[in-house]
């Protein structure tokens, strides 16, 4: 949501005549006509009398930063140069949230991420100190889960109830809903939106969440769509990294395990690309390597990445070791490939010994044997704190989608 420009302008009492030359816009306009012609209120426009620090300020939508290009007498005109124009979203309390649905990580930019994290911190205070909050009183959330879930479904339901809302739920919609009778996803969504104000859906097919959002009038949150994406997990992962490490720029992250089928690592990679000087290591068995679309995206965004077969070496370099399970349900009848991948990379005491003191181990859970139980006692084992943070992120998203900032 940011753009930059290089423009020159002349402020004059008598004229307003924009002219474009090469990559520069030369504008002649009067101070009085400027206020009338720019889309701002008079009380939101200011021009400093100090030419060396001249700035043109536009409220709400854009802020323009100006610098002087030449010393001139402050008489009837001022010559200045616009060096940067920044558009920033409005996060004013009561304003509508910028997104209608939460479907994929690419929807977010740094400004929105920072604002969501700020709301999540407020949600943590509510959860700890203000039980029975009425923020979402009168709202109904429907959870449609076509795949098993513990943390995601329960954290969303807990989030809704802690903010005063109510929940309509189906735990296994694939088997215990009309989908078992052959009903289309679109028909299900059209029906359920008549009973609720927001839908949280997990589905076994990649792209199903987008189909649901296209069909529905009410907001839809993607709680995981097959091997596609899991954006709310990625949000809580980035939120956790910031809280645990203290920064998001300049970090090194090792993504370990089932990178081909893991929707969590895909969504996380998209979000990490929003930050500066991040390096991502991919550590996985050959049969479940990260897919090329993610690698290509990271390259296009200038994010450095590297594939490695040495977990110990990667763990010694990283701020975050993000372990994932090998997902047996994604292999179908190819149990031989599953057995080939399973158990190859395990976070244990040996890995902890080479990790840096400030580094953390994360895991979207559930875990099988890819993190040994004795790791839990180490303060760098942050995965249960990570799961708790999911409550605050989901409280924030429900609040933002239903009532705004």
d(CA 72, CA 51) in angstroms, rounded, equals 8
**What one-character-per-residue DSSP string does 149-186 give?**
-SHHHHHHHHHHHHTT-EEEEES-HHHHSGGGGT--HH
Catalytic residue among 152, 170, 232, 324: 152
| Residue 60 designated active-site | no
Write out the H or E segment, with its range, that includes residue 211: helix 208-215
Tokens of 209: 């969440």
CA distance 315 to 322: 10
35: left (phi over 0), alpha (psi -120 to 50) or beta: alpha
Active site residue 152: yes
Active site residue 266: no
Distance between terminal CA atoms of the chain?
18
Q: Which of 162, 202, 252, 274 is catalytic?
A: 202
Q: Nearest CA to 341 among 312, 370, 320? A: 370
Looking at 55, 110, 151, 328, which residue is catalytic? 151
Q: How far apart are CA 59 and CA 71, in angstroms?
A: 27
Phi, psi of 280 (to 5 degrees): -120, 130
| CA dist., res. 307 & res. 16, Å (int) | 57
* Pick from 388, 392, 270, 285: nearest CA to 344: 285
Paired strand residues for 368: none
Phi, psi (5° rounding) for residue 116? -60, -40
8 is catalytic: no
Active site residue 151: yes
Helix and strand numbers, DSSP H then E, in the chain: 13, 15
Query: d(Cα 346, Cα 256) in Å, to the nearest integer?
Result: 9
Choose, from 162, 203, 230, 344, the residue flagged as catalytic.
230
- Residues with catalytic annotation? 151-152, 181, 202, 230
């Amino acid at each position: 949501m940011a753009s930059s420009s290089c423009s020159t302008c002349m402020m004059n009492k008598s004229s307003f005549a924009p002219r474009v030359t090469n990559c520069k816009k030369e504008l002649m306009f009067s101070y009085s006509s400027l206020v009338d012609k720019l889309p701002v209120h008079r009380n939101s426009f200011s021009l400093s009398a100090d030419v060396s620090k001249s700035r043109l300020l536009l409220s709400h939508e854009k802020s323009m930063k100006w610098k002087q290009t030449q010393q001139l007498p402050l008489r009837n005109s001022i010559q200045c140069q616009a060096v940067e124009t920044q558009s920033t979203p409005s996060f004013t309390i009561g304003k509508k949230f910028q997104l209608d649905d939460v479907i994929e990580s690419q929807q977010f930019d740094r400004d929105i991420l920072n604002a969501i994290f700020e709301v999540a911190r407020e949600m943590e205070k509510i959860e700890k100190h203000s039980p029975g909050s009425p923020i979402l009183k009168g709202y109904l959330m429907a959870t449609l889960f076509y795949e098993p879930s513990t943390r995601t479904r329960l954290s969303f339901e807990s989030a809704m109830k802690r903010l005063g809302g109510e929940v309509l739920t189906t735990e296994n919609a694939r088997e215990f809903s009309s989908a078992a009778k052959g009903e289309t996803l679109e028909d299900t969504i059209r029906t359920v939106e008549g009973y609720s104000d927001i839908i949280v859906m997990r589905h076994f097919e990649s792209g199903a969440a987008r189909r649901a959002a296209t069909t529905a009038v009410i907001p839809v949150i993607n709680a995981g769509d097959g091997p596609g994406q899991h954006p709310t997990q990625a949000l809580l992962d980035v939120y956790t990294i910031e809280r645990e490490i203290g920064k998001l720029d300049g970090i090194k992250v090792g993504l370990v395990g089932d990178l081909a089928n893991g929707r969590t690592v895909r969504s996380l990679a998209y979000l990490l690309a929003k930050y500066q000087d991040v390096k991502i290591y991919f550590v996985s068995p050959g049969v479940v390597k990260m897919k090329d679309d993610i690698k290509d995206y990271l390259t296009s965004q200038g994010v450095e990445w590297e594939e490695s077969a040495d977990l110990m070496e990667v763990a010694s370099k990283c701020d975050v070791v993000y372990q994932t399970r090998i997902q047996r349900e994604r292999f179908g009848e190819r149990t031989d490939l599953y057995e080939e991948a399973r158990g190859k990379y395990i976070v244990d005491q040996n890995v902890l010994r080479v990790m840096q003191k400030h580094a953390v181990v994360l895991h979207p859970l559930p875990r099988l044997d890819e993190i040994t139980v004795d790791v839990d006692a180490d303060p760098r084992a942050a995965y249960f704190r990570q799961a708790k943070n999911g409550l605050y992120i989901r409280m924030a998203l429900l609040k933002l989608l239903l009532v705004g900032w």
